[in-house]
Structure formats: structure tokens, C-alpha cells
């Protein structure tokens, strides 16, 4: 039932957003007691009230960290100069040497949200993206390559809103490209949140501690979510040969409908280490009906194993990542216990190329099996629930 509880927990974070509005490892005094375990403060002793889904009060225990490689680009580039890290990245054919970063504002100097932007070579579109709620977008040249190779940008042209960018465009090494539009941009209020969840048996060691986070958050949910129109959708996946490979619930503004769906899911199947991640990505990107216009589109990818390392699967995976970027979907992996370094670097490439960020569950709570220490700089340990609330707020404010 690990996957069930983990998804319930993250879904709770979404509900909490409806009623509320970045080294060495460090612990927040506000987040932990002296022995490193979760505190019930603020709020005092637990009421012991169930959440309506059969769990006891274990809320606020699971801990996690976040690392944004786009915001720590020199760190990422230095990592790729190391043989082991480069091998992890090249095996999955991610060449991030050609990053072009954009910040777009409208005539009033406000972030221009959900604006299409692309790069072409001749008549061929190389990469497409959409600006996020902060007006930022990332474009990539020669991404699918097994070497970190710099391309000749002079043979490419850049477009925004189907109009050529006449100003000189430079790679991120020379800074962010700033573009100011001549008109105002309509205010967006739609938010699409998808949860793509590994439902194999290996996801069964830590989720019992998360179910009560659902109770804690739902008790604070308001029927009114302010100016945001939030839709949620889910994809649960296992592997070929299991009872199912993918199981979906369509986007809906009825949060309780999504909650009911995920409460029925269980973690079973799997067996070998890799799982059908590529199939789940395709379902999440292609089969869920993402809004054509939106303030934010986020796909949280919860997993503890990589895709199968096969040529066709790599092609399919790259296609899904490229489609996600085109639709403006940020992929935010959340990795659980059991992943290896190869999976870590693959997930970080997912987040990098879709303008997302990387989240990892930590050992600090003592919940679950051992969690891989990521190869990152200094980060803050947070309760996973609080981290999710923070990220959803950041990408929807």
C-alpha cells in the first residue's frame, strides 16, 4: 500500500494549497525534534482522529529535500565533467550542453505566462516549450546525444508566439535571454496537476506513515480555492506482465473524485528492478487532457526504479519528455527508497529539460528503507508535505 499512501499524501499537499497560498545536509529547528523525528507542533498532541480512509495518525513524518539543477547550473556542469556522472547521463542520451534560457515579460513588465517559444533548424522544430507562471522557459539543442557536445547555434533560429526573435539569442553561458512583448498577456487561472505513480510492490516500505497527512490536510480544505481553477489527474503504473501496466483517472476539478480513485490503488507486482516508466510518461503526457491554456501544468513522478534500458524505450521516453516541454508540463520527480545513481541522474535530466526540479525522500524521519544520498550541494530537509505545498505555491502564484 506504499504507493497508495504516498499519492494520498501528495494529493493532500494540493488540497492544502487550496486553503493557503530553495552542500551539506541541514535540519530545520522548526521541522524536527531533537531526536530527528517529526514533531506534532504546532497543534500539540495528536487528536487520534482517522482520515476516513482507514489510517491512524502518523501525519507529517516523511522527510525530503529538493535540488534545482537549473538554478545551480555550474554545479551540474561540474558533475558532468566527472566520468561516473557523465556515464549515467550519456547512457540515457541527455546532452544538456546547449541550454537556452528565456525570461519573457509583457508590455507592463509582468511575467508573460503560457507563451509558446521554440527553436528551429531550417524548417525543422528542434525544441518547443511554453513560459511558466514566472515567464521563464528553457530550450535545448541537440538534446538526444550521448556526449556533452556544444552545437553551433548560428545555424538555428528562435521564435516566440510563432514570431521570429530578431534580437541576438545566446546560450545560458552568456546569461538569460530577456524578451519584452509589446502587448499585455491574458491572466491565466487554470492549474493542471498530474500524479504519475509507481504502483509496484517495491513501493511498499514507507507509505503507511503518509496516509494521515491526507486527514491533516483535508480537514483544512475549503470549498473555494481562490482564483485558481485546479484540476487533478493520475496515472498509476506497474510493468509488463502485471495485472495492469497503466491505470488512469482523467483530469477533474472534483478533488474528492481523484482522492476516491487513488484510495482504491494498491502496490503490487513488478519483480525486476526496472519498471514501465516510459509507458507511464506516455500515458501522463498524451492521454491526460492537459489544458490548452493554463497558468501551470505539473506532473509529479513518484518512483523508486528506472525505465528499462532498451533502445526503443529510450526513444519513447525522449519523445514524451519533448512533448511535455512543448505542452508546458513541468516534470518533478519524487524518488523513494531503492533508487540507484543511474536513476537519480535520469530523473534530474527529466526535471532539467522540462523546467522542473528534483525531489528526494531522505532518511531523516527513519521511515522506510535506506534512501540514496543525492549528489547535490547543500539542501534543506523538509517534511515532504511542506515541500510539496511550497513547490505547488511557487509554480502557481
Q: What total number of domains does the chain contain?
A: 2
The answer on 276 and 192 residing in a single domain is yes
Give residue 201's pLDDT.
Answer: 55
Mark the ranges of the chain whose per-residue pLDDT is less than 50.
Answer: 1-3, 19-56, 205-224
In a domain, 374, yes or no: yes
- pTM of this structure: 0.84
Give residue 352's pLDDT.
Answer: 99
Q: Domain containing 148: what range?
A: 94-180
Give residue 216's pLDDT.
Answer: 42
Distance of alpha carbon 61 from alpha carbon 41, whole angstroms: 12
CATH code of residue 373: 3.40.50.410
In a domain, 29, yes or no: yes
The answer on 345 and 267 residing in a single domain is yes
Helices (H), 231-340: 255-263, 277-282, 311-327
The answer on 216 and 156 residing in a single domain is no
The answer on 103 and 33 residing in a single domain is no
* The domain boundary residue, chosen from 164, 180, 196: 180
In a domain, 323, yes or no: yes
Contact 81, 159 (CB under 8 A): no
The answer on 237 and 145 residing in a single domain is no
Give residue 392's pLDDT.
Answer: 87
In a domain, 83, yes or no: no
The dihedral formed by the CA atoms of 310, 313, 319 and 325, expressed in degrees to the nearest 10: -90
Q: How many CB atoms lie within 10 A of CB 3?
A: 28
In a domain, 80, yes or no: no
Name the phi and psi angles at 8, rounded to 5. Answer: -55, -40
In a domain, 175, yes or no: yes
Q: How many CB atoms lie within 10 A of CB 386?
A: 17
Give residue 88's pLDDT.
Answer: 82
The answer on 8 and 29 residing in a single domain is yes
CATH code of residue 148: 2.60.40.10
Give residue 309's pLDDT.
Answer: 87
The answer on 305 and 359 residing in a single domain is yes
* The domain boundary residue, chosen from 148, 180, 212: 180
Helices (H), 2-59: 2-19
Q: Which of 313, 305, 321 is nearest to 369 (CA)?
A: 305
In a domain, 86, yes or no: no
The answer on 282 and 137 residing in a single domain is no
Q: Which of 300, 332, 280, 361 is nearest to 70 (CA)?
A: 332
Give residue 61's pLDDT.
Answer: 82
Q: How many CB atoms lie within 10 A of CB 366?
A: 14
The answer on 365 and 271 residing in a single domain is yes
Alpha-carbon distance values, 346 to 87, 129, 231, 378, 379 (Å): 11, 20, 28, 20, 20
The answer on 133 and 32 residing in a single domain is no
* The domain boundary residue, chosen from 128, 145, 180: 180
Q: Which of 327, 329, 375, 328 is nearest to 348 (CA)?
A: 375
In a domain, 85, yes or no: no
Give residue 20's pLDDT.
Answer: 47
Amino acid at each position: 500500500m506504499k504507493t497508495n499512501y504516498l499519492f494520498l499524501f501528495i494529493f493532500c499537499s494540493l488540497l492544502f494549497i487550496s486553503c493557503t497560498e530553495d552542500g551539506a545536509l541541514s535540519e530545520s529547528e522548526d521541522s524536527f525534534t531533537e531526536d530527528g523525528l517529526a514533531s506534532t507542533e504546532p497543534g500539540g498532541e495528536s487528536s487520534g482522529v482517522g482520515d476516513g480512509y482507514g489510517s491512524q495518525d502518523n501525519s507529517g513524518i516523511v522527510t525530503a529535500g529538493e535540488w534545482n539543477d537549473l538554478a545551480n547550473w555550474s554545479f551540474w556542469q561540474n558533475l558532468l565533467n566527472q566520468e561516473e556522472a557523465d556515464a549515467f547521463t550519456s547512457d540515457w542520451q541527455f546532452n544538456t550542453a546547449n541550454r537556452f534560457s528565456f525570461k519573457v515579460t509583457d508590455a507592463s513588465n509582468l511575467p508573460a505566462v503560457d507563451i509558446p517559444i521554440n527553436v528551429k533548424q531550417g524548417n525543422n522544430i528542434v525544441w518547443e516549450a511554453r513560459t511558466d507562471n514566472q515567464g521563464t522557459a528553457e530550450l535545448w539543442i541537440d538534446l538526444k546525444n550521448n556526449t556533452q557536445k556544444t552545437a553551433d547555434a548560428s545555424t538555428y533560429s528562435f521564435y516566440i508566439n510563432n514570431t521570429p526573435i530578431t534580437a541576438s539569442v545566446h546560450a545560458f553561458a552568456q546569461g538569460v535571454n530577456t524578451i519584452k512583448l509589446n502587448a499585455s498577456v491574458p491572466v491565466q487561472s487554470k492549474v493542471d496537476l498530474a500524479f504519475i505513480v509507481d504502483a509496484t510492490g517495491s513501493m511498499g516500505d514507507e507509505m503507511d506513515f503518509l496516509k494521515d497527512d491526507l486527514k491533516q490536510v483535508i480537514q483544512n480544505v475549503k470549498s473555494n480555492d481562490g482564483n485558481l481553477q485546479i484540476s487533478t489527474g493520475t496515472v498509476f503504473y506497474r510493468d509488463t506482465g502485471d495485472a495492469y501496466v497503466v491505470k488512469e483517472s482523467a483530469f477533474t476539478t472534483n478533488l474528492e473524485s481523484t482522492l476516491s480513485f487513488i484510495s482504491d490503488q494498491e502496490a503490487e507486482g513488478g519483480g525486476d528492478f526496472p519498471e514501465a516508466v516510459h509507458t507511464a510518461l506516455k500515458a501522463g503526457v498524451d492521454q491526460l487532457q492537459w489544458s490548452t491554456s493554463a497558468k501551470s501544468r505539473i506532473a509529479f513522478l513518484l518512483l523508486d526504479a528506472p525505465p528499462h534500458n532498451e533502445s526503443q524505450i529510450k526513444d519513447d521516453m525522449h519523445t514524451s519528455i519533448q512533448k511535455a516541454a512543448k505542452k508546458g508540463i513541468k516534470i518533478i520527480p519524487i524518488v523513494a527508497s531503492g533508487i540507484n545513481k543511474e536513476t537519480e541522474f535520469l530523473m534530474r535530466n527529466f526535471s532539467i529539460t522540462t523546467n522542473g526540479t528534483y525531489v528526494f525522500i531522505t532518511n531523516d524521519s527513519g521511515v522506510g528503507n535506506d534512501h540514496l544520498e543525492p549528489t547535490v550541494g547543500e539542501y534543506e530537509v523538509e517534511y515532504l508535505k511542506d515541500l510539496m505545498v511550497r513547490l505547488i505555491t511557487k509554480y502557481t502564484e
